[in-house]
């Protein structure tokens, strides 16, 4: 929190840090790449969503990122988990140089409950976010733009450059869960989920912005999660430790649980605040229609603790 304020972030009247992610207020799917090499090449569904790059291009981007980090004045490291089911949980590490990006992944992934858990922590996958780094040789490399979100499955690593949007880290790990879990016979789902008093689980499928978070956040049902889930022999489980809600036209009357989740430890992205009062205006969308808030799932009183 103190690091964010020192970095120029603004605290809203809700006690929430607010950030502006620059020209990218959403993900950049045309700039996502996977290194084409075995054995993962035989398992990936290649096409406009999963585009291939040569390992030499990846290594070039990696050197650019590591050279940049060698001069970084501060580095933030988050070690945590993706997947509530211990049978398929993965240990993930995020390396960032921007404090609010560290805050974002701390909100969105499953947090260790003690320092003892981190003794001997060995990540299954590492994401290095070098948002300040762009690839000015993208045309020669055969890429779409100076932005890159590049995965090397065999090296258990991803590189992000040229975009500050936090959702690239969240969805990057979701992409990897979509690779790992089906190989174990576990279904991965882009949906929200909650469970009623009778123990029956409801799943809400839909593209981003279609109401998954809103529909699953119900005071009369326990929230399992709002976006990414797995389905194994033991049932439905959340991948994440937080929620990522759209804030457009948000009000206490229409979405009270989400409205009240926006407090200290939540993180507002690309929303307008009054420069004098720091009051948030969720109805002002001149920056983007995709204003967002990330918050730990326990900000929702009816969340299911073991989900």
Catalytic residue among 31, 79, 226, 227: 227
Catalytic residue among 163, 188, 192, 213: 213
Catalytic residue among 190, 278, 287, 298: 190
Active site residue 208: yes
CB–CB of 227/194 below 8 Å?
no
Active site residue 60: no
Catalytic residue among 32, 212, 229, 299: 212
Cβ neighbors of 208 (< 8 A, separation 6 or more) are none
- C-alpha dihedral sign at 261, 226, 240, 133: negative
* Residue labelled with tokens 């948030």: 280
Catalytic residue among 40, 134, 156, 208: 208
Active site residue 264: no
Active site residue 212: yes
- C-alpha dihedral sign at 16, 208, 76, 143: negative
Catalytic residue among 51, 103, 292, 299: 292
CB–CB of 76/105 below 8 Å?
no
Dist CA 127 CA 82 (whole Å): 13
212-219 long-range contacts, CB within 8 A, separation 24+: 213/243, 213/244, 213/245, 213/246, 213/258, 214/245, 214/255, 214/258, 216/192, 217/243, 217/255, 217/257, 217/258, 217/300, 217/302, 218/194, 218/257, 218/302, 219/257, 219/301, 219/302
Active site residue 190: yes
Dist CA 229 CA 205 (whole Å): 11
Active site residue 210: no
Helix spans in the chain (H)? 2-6, 55-69, 99-108, 167-180, 212-216, 256-261
| Helix pair 99-108, 167-180: axis angle to 10 deg | 40
DSSP state of 110: B
Active site residue 307: no
Catalytic residue among 18, 21, 25, 27: 27
Active site residue 201: no
Catalytic residue among 171, 229, 246, 299: 171
> Which residues are designated catalytic?
27, 171, 190, 208, 212-213, 227, 292
């Amino acid at each position: 929190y103190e690091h964010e304020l020192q970095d120029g972030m603004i605290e809203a009247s809700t006690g929430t840090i607010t950030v502006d992610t620059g020209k990218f207020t959403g993900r950049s799917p045309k700039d996502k790449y996977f290194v084409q090499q075995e054995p993962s090449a035989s398992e990936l569904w290649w096409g406009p969503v999963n585009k291939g790059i040569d390992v030499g291009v990846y290594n070039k981007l990696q050197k650019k990122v590591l050279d940049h980090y060698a001069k970084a004045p501060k580095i933030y490291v988050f070690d945590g988990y993706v997947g509530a089911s211990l049978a398929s949980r993965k240990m993930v590490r995020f390396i960032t140089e921007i404090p609010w990006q560290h805050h974002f992944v701390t909100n969105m992934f499953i947090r260790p409950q003690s320092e003892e858990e981190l003794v001997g922590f060995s990540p299954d996958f590492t994401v290095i976010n070098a948002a300040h780094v762009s690839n000015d040789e993208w045309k020669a490399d055969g890429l779409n733009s100076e932005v890159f979100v590049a995965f090397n499955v065999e090296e258990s690593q991803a590189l992000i450059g040229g975009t500050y949007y936090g959702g690239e880290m969240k969805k990057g790990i979701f992409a990897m869960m979509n690779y790992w879990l089906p190989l174990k016979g576990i279904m991965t789902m882009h949906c929200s989920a909650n469970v009623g008093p009778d123990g029956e689980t409801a799943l809400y499928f839909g593209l981003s912005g279609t109401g998954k978070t809103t529909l699953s956040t119900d005071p009369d049902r326990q929230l399992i999660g709002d976006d990414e889930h797995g389905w194994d022999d033991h049932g439905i489980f959340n991948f994440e430790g937080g929620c990522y809600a759209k804030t457009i036209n948000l009000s206490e009357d229409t979405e009270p649980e989400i409205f009240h989740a926006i407090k200290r430890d939540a993180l507002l992205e690309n929303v307008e605040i009054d420069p004098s009062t720091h009051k948030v205006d969720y109805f002002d969308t001149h920056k983007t229609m995709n204003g967002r808030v990330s918050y730990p799932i326990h900000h929702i009183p009816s969340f299911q603790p073991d989900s």
